[in-house]
Amino acid sequence: MLQQLEQLKSKALQELTSINHPEQMESWRVRYLGKKSELTRILRSLATLPVDERKAVGAQANRVKADLADGLRQKEQALREMQLAASAQEERIDITLPGHPFPIGRLHPITQTLHEICSIFASMGFQVVEGPEVEWDHYNFEALNIPKEHPARDTMATLWVDFKTDSGQRPMLLRTHTTSVDIRIMETTPPPLRVVIPGKVYRYEASDATHTPMFYQIDGLVVDEGITMADLKGTLYEFARRFFGEDRKVRFRCDYFPFVEPGAEMAIECSVCGGKGCRLCNYTGWIEILGAGMTHPQVLRNGGLDPQVYTGFAFGMGVDRLPILRYGIDDTRLFYSSDLRFLRQF
Ligand code: DAH
């Protein structure tokens, strides 16, 4: 019987070594340690053995049982570790793989240009301010010396907005130029004033290669005691040098705007032909980039300032024109078409 036990033990342990799955473990346990196992049968039959044999066989059977239980525990432990290692291997994240590139947006070319212009003026001590796009007739026209029947209104086809107040209808519009903010600033801020006003403006016009019903302007306004035309020219020369380059020639000529006196226009030498004359500059060699002038005394008065004490200068330019001139773009509408193939180039 002792020999039987010994054989049983080595058979069981032998089988145990080839097990590699938890389910096989359970059937092994039932087979060798279960209620119906050979070992249990031997242990139960001990009572029928003669006393001296009973002792030896009993001790041996208990040892075998302990060894098998021990083997089972070790095997279970080994299986658990194997499983853990396998799942760690399977679920491993390879952190050496490159990530998915995130598409990064960029600023619109018009916005880039606005930032550039604003920062040039900011470095000369100008503040950047904004005003409403839906505006009273008063600020866009009346207070800027453009009364009802004034011909200057014809040059700015206006988009009107119906607006009723308690006292009746008051004319509102989509501002046709950022100059509309000038009076608002004079009303609210005491001089010295040095501001640039970037923003959207609207005109009732069909789109074509050089017109869109909405576009960007930037206006400037300086008011203080003793401001002269020399300040205007110096400031705008400096701007042109910084924006277009040191060697680009700049020209001032007389022009008329109702809200300035005298009025002027500034042109730069054509970038395409270098002044010789080409299609871009209409064979003149020059490209107008802004209107300007000394703030009209009546406009100062409309803004609540005394023209005997204060003088000022103002200027205004279309922002879309600048990247057009710089990059030789032949259609303004491209800026507002949201075509990424175009926009990604800037
Ligand atoms: N507001 C004018 C326009 O839209 C441009 C302009 C001219 C603005 C002269 C000014 C200025 O401030 O002084 O055509």
| 103 assigned to some structural domain | no
Other CB atoms closer than 10 Å to residue 175's CB: what's the count?
27
- Among residues 339, 147, 163, the alpha carbon closest in space to that of 259 is found at 147
pLDDT tens column, 11-54? 888 888 888 888 888 888 888 888 888 888 888 888 888 888 88
Closest residue to atom 6 of ligand 1, CA basis: 316
Residues 260 and 316 in one domain: yes
Return the higher-pLDDT residue of 9 and 187. 187
Residues 189 and 262 in one domain: yes
Centroid of ligand 1 to alpha carbon of 263 (angstroms): 9
Residue 266 three-state SS: strand
Centroid of ligand 1 to alpha carbon of 257 (angstroms): 7
Closest residue to atom 3 of ligand 1, CA basis: 177
pLDDT of residue 90: 85
pLDDT of residue 64: 87
Block residue for tokens 């949201």: 338
Residues 113 and 173 in one domain: yes
User: With helix as H, strand as E and coil as C, how does 284-299 read?
Assistant: CCEEEEEEEEEECHHH
Residues 55 and 194 in one domain: no
User: In the beta sheet, which residues pair with residue 216?
Assistant: 200
pLDDT tens column, 104-154? 888 999 999 999 999 999 999 999 999 999 999 999 999 999 998 898 888
Q: Which domain holds residue 46?
A: 2-84
Residues 238 and 312 in one domain: yes
Residues 73 and 149 in one domain: no
Mean pLDDT on 99-105? 86
| 325 assigned to some structural domain | yes
| 95 assigned to some structural domain | no
With a Cβ cut-off of 6 Å, ligand 1 is lined by 177, 179, 219, 257, 260, 291-293, 314-316
Q: Residue 145's domain is classified under what CATH number?
A: 3.30.930.10
In testing the pocket of ligand 1, which one of 139, 194, 202, 219 has its CB within 8 Å of the most ligand atoms? 219
In testing the pocket of ligand 1, which one of 214, 315, 319, 321 has its CB within 8 Å of the most ligand atoms? 315
DSSP 101: P
Centroid of ligand 1 to alpha carbon of 124 (angstroms): 20
Which atom of ligand 1 is the closest one to the Cα of 178? 1
Centroid of ligand 1 to alpha carbon of 258 (angstroms): 9
pLDDT of residue 24: 85
| 329 assigned to some structural domain | yes
- The count of domains in the chain is 2
pLDDT of residue 105: 86
Residues 245 and 140 in one domain: yes
How many angstroms separate the Cα of 285 from the Cα of each of 119, 253, 275, 319?
28, 14, 4, 21
Residues 204 and 331 in one domain: yes
Tokens of 87: 């799942």
